């Protein structure tokens, strides 16, 4: 099977939190129930509710995994995909929906998808007769999650097609890599066209003639402005991805907590400690700031989601005694770890 490649999850925060708010809405969760959806992410409800909040790919995948566990109904990916209208995808969605035709729309999605989610890749293969969209995932997904995300992606692509053409895409041919689920009868409620299972690649194939039909909602000026905005976002993302603070975060996360020294980090990056400090300062960051951000997120996660004692958590985070850990935790969160755990468990 070639539906995914096993790589490290991108640690860059580039996925808008509005997707997760829509997940919460689909599940019918109240604000007080959000911690159930955020288990294992290190996120707090206030971060998810922030209009301009961004989360990492790893956090988004965990939220989806939690949503599957919380959802008592089959076809969660299909239902969520129905909620993700073109307007929910920000500037990328605006560029695609104002495109001259469906081919241009999918080309915009292919190019600018990294500005919305970095672990899904859309590749386009054009022939005289057909356009084939192939979807791959840059991370390893378990079977349930893979099925959910595949349903979600295909539904979203069909949403764009239906918006542009003003009707269901009955000519579509959809190939899923998963086996036909027990609830496959409901697929017809959400997806149009022919559906096959157990395919080697997740695909959506459409007749080229259909993809070249004019978009009645096309707006050339809006389309050009949206493309320019997407280009800027993509440039910013590429700069962020290659930043020294993100390279340092990946290094820290690949080692036991708190064990990477500044000297070792600098040597790995083939520079002096002073040069690394100068480069991080240019990015309004520092070795200590990054180290404490990672440790504080890990500490909050352990306290909120495990029954480990404070002493055990201190050892896991490489503190020589729990007193030092308690002082550090109070500096990070403004309260002792015991109080933080009590409040987290009461939500």
Q: What is the pLDDT of residue 249?
A: 85
Please, what is the Cα angle at 236 between 215 and 109, to 5 degrees?
25
Burial of 97 (0-12, 13-18, 19+ CB in 10 A): buried
Indicate if 45 and 178 belong to the same structural domain: yes
Q: What is the pLDDT of residue 347?
A: 64
CATH label of the domain that carries residue 227: 3.90.1520.10
Look at strands 194-196 and 173-175 and give their pairing.
parallel
Domain membership flag for residue 105? yes
> Are the C-beta atoms of 3 and 119 separated by less than 8 Å?
no
Q: What is the value of pTM for the model shown?
A: 0.70
Kindly give the parts of the chain with pLDDT less than 70: 1-12, 51-52, 239-241, 347
Indicate if 278 and 217 belong to the same structural domain: no
Indicate if 225 and 105 belong to the same structural domain: yes
Domain membership flag for residue 196? yes
Domain membership flag for residue 338? yes
Question: Tokens 């997806």 belong to which residue?
Answer: 191
Residue 137 belongs to domain spanning: 15-233
Domain membership flag for residue 10? no
Total of domains in the chain: 2
Instruction: Please state, in angstroms and rounded to a whole number, the distance separating the CA atoms of residues 1 and 295.
Output: 37
Indicate if 108 and 254 belong to the same structural domain: no
Indicate if 223 and 99 belong to the same structural domain: yes
Domain membership flag for residue 66? yes
Indicate if 137 and 164 belong to the same structural domain: yes
Indicate if 196 and 263 belong to the same structural domain: no
Indicate if 98 and 27 belong to the same structural domain: yes
Domain boundary among 170, 199, 233: 233
Count Cβ atoms below 10 Å from residue 290 Cβ, excluding itself.
Answer: 21
Indicate if 187 and 108 belong to the same structural domain: yes
Q: What is the pLDDT of residue 63?
A: 96
Q: The tokens of 195 are what? A: 């559906």
Domain membership flag for residue 9? no
Indicate if 95 and 228 belong to the same structural domain: yes
Q: What is the pLDDT of residue 10?
A: 52
Indicate if 31 and 133 belong to the same structural domain: yes
Contacts for 211 with CB less than 8 Å, ≥ 6 apart: 101, 102, 103, 106, 131
Indicate if 259 and 314 belong to the same structural domain: yes
Instruction: Please state, in angstroms and rounded to a whole number, the distance separating the CA atoms of residues 147 and 81.
Output: 13
CATH label of the domain that carries residue 337: 1.10.10.60
Domain boundary among 198, 233, 268: 233
Domain membership flag for residue 3? no
Nearest to 223 by CA among 88, 90, 91: 91
Helix (H, G, I), strand (E, B) or coil at 130: strand
Domain boundary among 181, 211, 233: 233
Q: Give residue-wise pLDDT tens across range 313-338.
A: 998 888 888 999 999 999 999 999 99
Domain membership flag for residue 2? no
> Are the C-beta atoms of 190 and 77 separated by less than 8 Å?
no
């Amino acid at each position: 099977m070639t539906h995914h490649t096993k790589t490290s999850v991108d640690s860059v925060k580039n996925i808008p939190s509005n997707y997760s708010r829509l997940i919460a809405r689909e599940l019918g969760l109240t604000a007080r129930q959000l911690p159930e959806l955020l288990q294992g992410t290190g996120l707090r409800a206030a971060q998810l509710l922030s209009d301009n909040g961004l989360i990492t790919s790893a956090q988004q995948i965990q939220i989806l995994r939690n949503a599957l566990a919380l959802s008592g109904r089959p076809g969660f990916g299909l239902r969520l995909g129905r909620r993700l209208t073109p307007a929910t995808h920000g500037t990328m969605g605006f560029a695609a929906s104002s495109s001259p035709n469906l081919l241009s729309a999918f080309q915009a999605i292919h190019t600018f998808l990294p500005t919305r989610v970095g672990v899904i890749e859309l590749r386009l293969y054009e022939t005289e007769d057909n356009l084939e969209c192939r979807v791959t995932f840059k991370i390893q997904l378990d079977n349930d999650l893979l099925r959910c995300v595949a349903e979600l992606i295909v539904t979203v692509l069909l949403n764009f097609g239906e918006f542009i053409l003003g009707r269901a895409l009955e000519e579509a041919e959809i190939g899923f890599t998963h086996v036909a689920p027990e609830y496959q009868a409901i697929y017809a409620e959400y997806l149009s066209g022919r559906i096959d299972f157990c395919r080697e690649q997740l695909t959506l194939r459409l007749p080229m003639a259909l993809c070249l039909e004019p978009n009645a909602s096309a707006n050339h000026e809006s389309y050009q402005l949206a493309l320019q905005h997407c280009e800027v976002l993509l440039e910013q993302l590429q700069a962020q991805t290659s930043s020294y603070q993100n390279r340092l975060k990946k290094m820290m996360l690949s080692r036991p907590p708190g064990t990477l020294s500044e000297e070792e980090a600098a040597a790995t990056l083939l520079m002096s400690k002073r040069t690394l400090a100068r480069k991080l300062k240019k990015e309004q960051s520092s070795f200590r700031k990054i180290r404490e951000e990672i440790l504080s997120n890990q500490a909050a996660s352990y306290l909120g989601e495990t029954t480990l004692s404070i002493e055990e958590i201190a050892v896991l985070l490489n503190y020589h005694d729990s007193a030092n850990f308690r002082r550090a935790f109070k500096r990070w969160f403004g309260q002792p770890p015991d109080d933080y755990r009590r409040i987290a468990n009461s939500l």
